[in-house]
Amino acid sequence: MTTRVALRRDAGRIGPESGPWIRQRQVAKIWGPPDPASLAQLVDHRDVVLGWGLLAPDADIPLRLVQFGDKPPAADWFERRLASALAARAGLGLGETLDTTAYREVNSEGDGLPGLVIDRYGDDRVVQLGTPAMTARRAAILEFLRPRTPGQIFVIAGEAAPDAAESVLEFREHGLWFSCPAPPAQKTGAYLDQRDNRRLAAGLAARAGGPLLDLGCHVGGFVVHAAAAGVRAVGLDQSARALSFARRNAARNDLTERTAFVQADMFGALDDPALAGPFGVIVFDPPRIATGSQGRERAVAAMARSLGRLVPRLAPGGFLLACSCSHHVGRADLDAALLGAGPHGFTRVHALGPGPDHPVWPGHVEGEYLRVNVYQRRDT
């Protein structure tokens, strides 16, 4: 029996342009067994079939569509989309050289596989199962990946993996060596969505004459890239474990003499002498601080207070990278946070996001979660 999700009369227009998410407030009734391993049929209030999706009946997003229209996907749609996602990365040139061996292979809705993330780290893969439907397909995912994975497969599905606690992921990024903790660590490892932005920031730091300061440095990506570009770089993070990997990554690339790391709260006083500046580039990369629209104003205010402490440490002509990893804090909010930091002359010179290995389903605005605004200080 096919499970059917019936929409309310006032659910709004549903089509490719509205994106793949059906929210609880749009649903009138769910008919049939709530089986996450099967595809559910979406119907409007007139019983017209609108599409097919993956079911999580008790979630805020009870249905994530994988195909619009009355025709169901082919029986092997799941395996075909996995293969298509991996082929798409090959089409981008990823995986062809040893220059960069870490990238995203499956990006959830962006690859037509809602709730599934797969990241590649050299010979290893990290799989994140974010919905009941993907957890139900765990065996099929591993069966697909095992013959294609020379190393280990780490799975994040809500439970801890004690045997993986001391495992390490090793990879190259734009010619530099990195390592990071394997799951159950920070998300899927090394924030691959910032990969290309790390190299851009290093170039800006070299042109500005450095040094670079990265707040929220994790395992040292921005810092190591800047040091490799010939400038001094300082990283700050609250996690002692992350900083141990950051120092290890600097040492592996023979960059210890040009790097320094500080353990502190990025929203704190920032009174360590190594943070005094002036800096040619400052990267402000906080964790997600707004999990919903109701937290947006508080997030902007918190960022404005921190940026108010940072802006005086930026040299004239220098660059500030303000980052948001929350869909609810957009580019305009980053602008507002900077304007709230004080009367300094800035202009935005770049509006960045993740690389092409993080595709977005057209119309799925929630898939655009990472924003990086690059501002140049132009005091007059």
3-state SS assignment for residue 229: coil
- Contact status, residue 255 vs residue 228, Cβ threshold 8 Å: yes
**What is the C-alpha to C-alpha distance for residues 108 and 333, in angstroms, rounded to an integer?**
25
* Type and span of the H or E element at 126: strand 124-129
Residues sharing a CB contact under 8 Å with residue 234, sequence separation 6 or more, in sequence order = 211, 212, 213, 214, 223, 259, 260, 261, 262, 274, 275, 279
By the 10 Å C-beta count (0-12 exposed, 13-18 middle, 19+ buried), 55 is classed as buried
- Contact status, residue 34 vs residue 49, Cβ threshold 8 Å: no
CA 161 vs CA 118, 136, 157, 183, 246: distances in Å: 17, 18, 10, 7, 23
**What is the C-alpha to C-alpha distance for residues 313 and 245, in angstroms, rounded to an integer?**
26
Q: Which of 180, 217, 323, 325 is catalytic?
A: 325
**Side-chain-facing half-sphere of 28: CA atoms under 13 Å:** 14
325 counts as catalytic: yes
Q: In the 8-state DSSP scheme, what is residue 282? A: E
Asked if omega into 181 is within 30° of 0 (cis), the reply is no
**What is the C-alpha to C-alpha distance for residues 13 and 11, in angstroms, rounded to an integer?**
7
Tokens (6 digits) for 14 = 């549903």
Relative to beta strand 176-181, strand 168-173 is antiparallel
**What is the C-alpha to C-alpha distance for residues 243 and 262, in angstroms, rounded to an integer?**
8
3-state SS assignment for residue 108: helix
* Type and span of the H or E element at 208: helix 195-208
Of 240, 200, 238, the closest CA to residue 221 belongs to: 200
Q: Which residues are catalytic?
A: 325
